[in-house]
Amino acid sequence: MNHLLIVSDVRLHRDGLAHLLLARHEFASVLTASTFEQGLAIARTYQPAVVLLDTATSSALSVVRPLAELLPSCKIVAFAVAEEPENIIACAEAGVSGYVPASASADDLVHVIQSVVRGELPCTPRIASSLFRRLGSVSNGDAVHPPHVRPDEGSLTDREHDVLILLERGLSNKEIARALSIGTPTVKNHVHHILGKLRVMRRGEAAARARRHEEAMPLRMR
């Protein structure tokens, strides 16, 4: 195989995974990046065959689309993923090729990488069922966006619009969760979707976009 790139803001994760994969001789070289910007720069230069993306890093999924556009043939694998259907669906919608659960072992990680390179997606029957249900809802038109959503806001859903407004107000994920009476992991998924749809990489950039649309619908507390 060619190069592999690990993107994580936790040095222990980067160095540990790099050491593990180099010892397995799975890739010619293993590169690391601590930020998304650095990861994109390295990817542009070395064109890795696989990118391992740490989903524990804030707004991690927002880098998937820029990476895919830069390297269409690159396989992007999300790791440290909480294996719940909504998290896996968020990864799939962002455009990842595969995922490694937070509970996975080193052997599991290598197995997923090898499978993804072959064009396969290892997952549990429960996750496969959730993905098929999601595909079915999209094909049946259940995911049609509300008519008030503006194309320049990335076709945000009502709930994503609510989260975006609270991001603009400077609230943390926990504060947004309390304001909207939803779980913090759910807020994190919404933020991932918002950043991806708006094609930005940071919460501040999304907040700036919201400020440019002050005439948008008011926040709907549900």
Q: Are 23 and 90 in a shared domain?
A: yes
Sign of CA pseudo-dihedral 194, 196, 199, 204: positive
pLDDT number for residue 139: 54
CA distance 217 to 222: 14
Q: Are 67 and 129 in a shared domain?
A: yes
In a domain, 81, yes or no: yes
CA distance 9 to 16: 13
Q: Are 125 and 179 in a shared domain?
A: no
Q: Are 107 and 187 in a shared domain?
A: no
What are the tens digits of pLDDT across the range 89-100? 888 888 899 999
Taking Cα atoms as reference points, which of 59, 4, 3 lies closest to residue 36? 59
What are the tens digits of pLDDT across the range 80-127? 887 777 778 888 888 899 999 888 898 999 999 999 999 998 887 788
Q: Are 91 and 172 in a shared domain?
A: no
Q: What is the CATH number of the domain that holds 156?
A: 1.10.10.10
Q: Are 78 and 162 in a shared domain?
A: no
Q: Are 122 and 28 in a shared domain?
A: yes
Q: Are 30 and 120 in a shared domain?
A: yes
Q: What is the CATH number of the domain that holds 128?
A: 3.40.50.2300
pLDDT number for residue 90: 81
In a domain, 222, yes or no: no
pTM (2 decimals)? 0.62
For residue 20, the enclosing domain spans: 3-134
Tell the burial category of 174 from Cβ atoms under 10 Å away from its Cβ (0-12, 13-18, 19+): exposed
Number of domains within the chain? 2
Q: Are 52 and 122 in a shared domain?
A: yes
In a domain, 141, yes or no: no
Buried b (16+ CB within 10 A) or exposed e, 101-121: beebeeeebbebbebbbeeee
Q: Are 129 and 29 in a shared domain?
A: yes
Stretches where the chain sits below pLDDT 70 are: 1, 58, 136-155, 201, 209-222
Q: Are 104 and 176 in a shared domain?
A: no
- Among 101, 134, 167, identify where a domain stops: 134
pLDDT number for residue 5: 96
Q: Are 107 and 205 in a shared domain?
A: no
Q: Taking a C-beta distance cutoff of 8 angstroms, is the pair 26, 72 a contact? A: no
Q: Taking a C-beta distance cutoff of 8 angstroms, is the pair 41, 76 a contact? A: no
